[in-house]
Structure 1
């Protein structure tokens, strides 16, 4: 994950500098977005199922680990802190980068230990971070999405600086150097196959909830320097009208085949991608968005719209890292465009939000307004196809410059939310109806436990609903009554609003968001 490039890439600038170039061009929000642009918008109550995600980036130690070579105790404590803060903020999912540069945060038999973990590529840390991270997330009822970078080998171009047994050194024919970095060549079938096997090792071995790619397929282009894949195109490009079509085909193969592999190994895991936020401009393609920005279809050879329409993704999370009203890439136009692309496809739409911009030095005026981020979610709430957001990235969320994140959460995340149920999983069996029990003598708070039944699924968490009056024989399990999500490992609920006179029911919820029938009603009066 990284800042998005500008409408016309300038090779002399970094991606973050390019993003700033976009931000220099602003325009007033349209009248149709007036409610979303209000400084004190009053958003609706919100959906009960809504993805609230956090990106935790490991490459160059962006978020976690905070630095290479920290002790296992410090690393575990820091990661638990990230999870606890995410849960307190109202999040229900983390997207953790576990293969940032053809390396691993688990004991992979195929790739070396990550240098971002130990400080030295290939050095065994003496423990299994991925096993720990997955368990820690699940104990807190947070779903864990394993974030992989498919092709990036190194943040520098010299293969001799890799460990001697690195696959990229053993198979130099798989790699290319471009833009100061080293990549596996997506056009070499053996390289693609190796990358799939390397990623699928983690999918096989760990109880993850999702497989996640970001926006890196073919690298962002540098003017005057084409990606050096002449030999691969000569060998494998026969039958394609041009090199661009062949490159898109190579990326399509990775996406389609990873979808098939993930579903075969973990049928309930979500497979999704967070691409650059513009597929094509409508000046290039009538199906494109009303933008004048860089195009992922042409520049990265990533047919993001095609993946949605072909049913290859469970969700897509476009990086809409621009403010409402920006002339070249207006959030207010792109969010509805993506909603239109995903409607009726079975692909969930979650929006990548650029928290890193809020209050940051050098960002344009809209990002100096504490309400800009909240306005994005207000606009999202008017589009039924949008079922969540992912925030980039953890360190900026915790920095909370201008109080933008606090405001967004107060406006939109006052009540908890279950993860959205993927359409292909909606008909699956839910957990058994749970038991809700009164406090024991001398204690306070409700007790929750799994129901009984042959072959029933164990709950991941309990959803607790509160009513100020008796809810009747069929309690409404609506967002306005949802008051807490309790991890199954805890099994106890203390109402922060007090229990002077209230009625409660609970449901058991599995990791994909399916909900049981409600428990019996429990009345507490103190």
Structure 2
């Protein structure tokens, strides 16, 4: 009898052969994300903000990254806002990260998260605050934070383990502390999402020092189940807290890339459920997150069956596999580019919500021509955010009274009457479509010429004079991703 795994492998290899040849048609709705890593200055910043010139240079470095992402039609930035017990925004709770100025707690002279949000929105991209949750860093790092460290301010929720410090998931006060940080970010900044990294126990932490808490709070559960429940309770508490503040802010995590063994393939001892106590499928089933970005930095059959498993268990939430594009670099893994191409094709063919690239430097540095292949092939046209229909499914009203006025050779000024939305706290943004044919096909992403427009006018300027289009429509999109019907067309003659 043929083993079911063998049959599955044959199917997978057939996919690989088929989807390696060319990119699938670009979807209209797709998350295209990149992680901007601040820890150790891996992606940003390179310059210290210790002088006015340094501040300006630091800002310019971030703008350069965002410009390149925009040019390649990325639509989501995962901006590192908290590392290990320190932050990259103005906080009343934790100190500034030393990477900004060279000294822990020193004000860089501007607010990096506020700047990142503003610049992302200028480019029609979402900005999610990426926050490392449980780890607090090694002893030297914790000592550098001095009395501002949470280990000094709230020592009862912190534990040392293997020469590092961690928040203790078994202490009920931990979730309250993390929520206080999230509350600062969500209330003070116009972020589109909060993205939780390392929401888990350390790897294979069988001797993690939580025996006292287990005896006190275990209530007859096994140690493994109690630990999983602790992580779930933290996420549940924060998710509900975020939604009470701003319902439209997306809550996401980046769990270990394999949930656990599947009927198709073994996780080979490394998975979220058993090794780090993340019950991610439970989170999806309960609906206590909006998106997951599983860290799927694997090749071949260590990727495909597990990506499919995430999608099958998604409960309608957005599954956005994290791709290990850093492995394209010779010093990291020297993968061939077609490995990433096949993964994106697989994601699209199986209708996952999109993909995220770890890290942005390997994208913008055009490692093995990755940036070129994304810009010219996979991301040749813009894409809209998949909607969060479980939070709100009512689209704004259609823009009205669209006018098109030629203001110079090739340049067209569009203006329209604003849309309204059922959520009165939000002002819709707009998408401009252009075509040489009527009716303008708003299902074709090739017709999207601008996204994230926050005013009720737009200057259409084609890249080349001979690419000028004559017919236009505009739609409105709310903060949940619901798109309105198009306006009546306007034409330039």
* TM-score, normalised via structure 1 length: 0.84
Q: 1:156 deviation in Å?
A: 3.6
Aligned: 1:94 with 2:107: no
Q: Is the 8 A contact 1:275 1:317 kept in 2?
A: yes
Structure 2 counterpart of 1:11: none
Q: CA deviation at 1:434?
A: 5.0
Q: How much does 1:157 deviate?
A: 5.9
CA distance in 2, matches of 1:33, 1:413: 25
1:493 aligns with 2:460: yes
Is the Cα–Cα contact under 8 Å of residues 57 and 393 in structure 1 kept in the other structure? yes
Quote how far apart the aligned CAs of 1:31 are. Answer: 4.6
CA distance in 1, matches of 2:138, 2:400: 50
What residue in structure 2 maps to residue 360 of structure 1?
330
Question: How many angstroms apart in 2 are the aligned matches of 1:94 and 1:57?
Answer: 11
Identify the residue that residue 178 of structure 1 maps to in structure 2: 161
Q: Is the 8 A contact 1:175 1:184 kept in 2?
A: yes
Query: C-alpha separation between the residues in 2 aligned to 1:436 and 1:188?
Result: 57
Residue in structure 2 matched with residue 79 of structure 1 by the alignment: 62
Q: Indicate conservation of the 8 Å contact 2:441/2:447, yes or no.
A: no
Residue of structure 1 equivalent to 2:311: 339
Q: 1:482 aligns with which of 447, 453, 464?
A: 447
Q: 1:370 aligns with which of 337, 340, 353?
A: 337
User: Unaligned stretches of 5+ in structure 1?
Assistant: 1-27
Shift in alpha-carbon separation, 1:450–1:52, aligned structure 2, 3 A: farther
Distance 1:151 1:217, change over 3 A: same
Where 2:212 maps in the other structure, the secondary structure is helix
Whether 2:11 is the aligned partner of 1:42: answer no
Q: What does residue 282 of structure 2 align with?
A: 306
1:248 and 2:241 correspond: no
Pick the aligned partner of 2:34 from 15, 33, 54.
54
In structure 2, the CA distance between the partners of 1:398 and 1:481, relative to structure 1 (3 Å rule), is closer
| Residues 40 and 435 of structure 1, relative CA distance in 2, 3 Å threshold | farther
For 2:81, what is the secondary structure of its paired residue?
Answer: strand
Asked if structure 2 preserves the Cα contact closer than 8 Å seen for 1:290 and 1:333, the reply is no
> Aligned partners of 1:411, 1:217: CA distance in 2, in Å?
36
Describe the shift of the 1:469–1:162 C-alpha distance in structure 2 as closer, same or farther (beyond 3 A): closer
How far apart in 1 are the matches of 2:13 and 2:417? Answer: 47
SS at match of 1:263: helix
Q: Residues 505 and 521 of structure 1 are in contact (CA less than 8 Å); yes or no, is this contact kept in structure 2?
A: yes
Q: Which moved more, 1:158-167 or 1:393-402?
A: 158-167
Q: Secondary structure at the match of 2:483?
A: coil
3-state SS of 1:416 partner? coil
CA deviation vs aligned residue, 1:490-526 (integer Å, no higher than 9, x gap) = 722223363566433222333432222222323345x
Give SS of 1:371's match.
Answer: helix
Which ranges in structure 2 are unaligned for 5 or more consecutive residues?
1-7
Rate the CA distance shift 1:37–1:407 in 2: closer, same or farther, 3 A: farther
Map 1:157-306; keep pairs closer than 5 Å: 159-221=142-204, 226-237=207-218, 239-282=219-262, 290-306=266-282
Flag the 1:43–1:435 CA change in 2: closer, same or farther, 3 A. farther
SS in structure 2 at match of 1:241:
coil
Q: Contact conserved, 2:405 with 2:492, CA < 8 A, in 1?
A: no
Alignment CA distance shift 1:452-1:360 (3 Å): same
1:167-200 deviation per Cα after TM superposition (whole angstroms, max 9, x unaligned): 3213322212223321111111223311221222
Whole-angstrom distance in 2 between the partners of 1:216 and 1:66 = 28
Question: Does the 8 Å contact 2:69/2:364 carry over to 1?
Answer: no
Aligned equivalents of 1:462 and 1:297: distance in 2? 41
Classify 1:173/1:159 alpha carbon distance in 2 versus 1 (closer, same or farther; 3 Å).
farther
How far apart are the structure 2 equivalents of 1:192 and 1:55? 24
| Match in the other structure for 1:16 | none
1:430 aligns to 2:396 (yes or no): yes
Counterpart-to-counterpart distance in 2, 1:33 and 1:510: 40
User: Cα RMSD over matched residues?
Assistant: 2.6
Give me the whole-angstrom Cα distance separating, in 1, the residues matched to 2:411 and 2:377.
Answer: 28
How many residues were matched structurally?
Answer: 477
More divergent stretch after superposition (389-398 vs 407-416): 407-416
Name 1:503's counterpart in structure 2: 471
> Structure 2: how far apart are the matches of 1:157 and 1:446?
58
Distance in 2, matches of 1:434 and 1:99, equals 42
Give the Cα separation in 2 of the matches to 1:181 and 1:269: 32
Change (3 A) 1:167 1:450: farther
**TM-score for the superposition, normalised by structure 2:** 0.89
Please state if 1:383 is matched with 2:359: no
Residue 255 of structure 1, CA deviation: 0.7
Q: Which secondary structure does the structure 2 equivalent of 1:491 belong to?
A: strand
CA distance in 1, matches of 2:358, 2:397: 33
8 A Cα contact 2:320 2:354, kept in partner: yes
Cα distance in structure 2, aligned partners of 1:336 and 1:359: 27
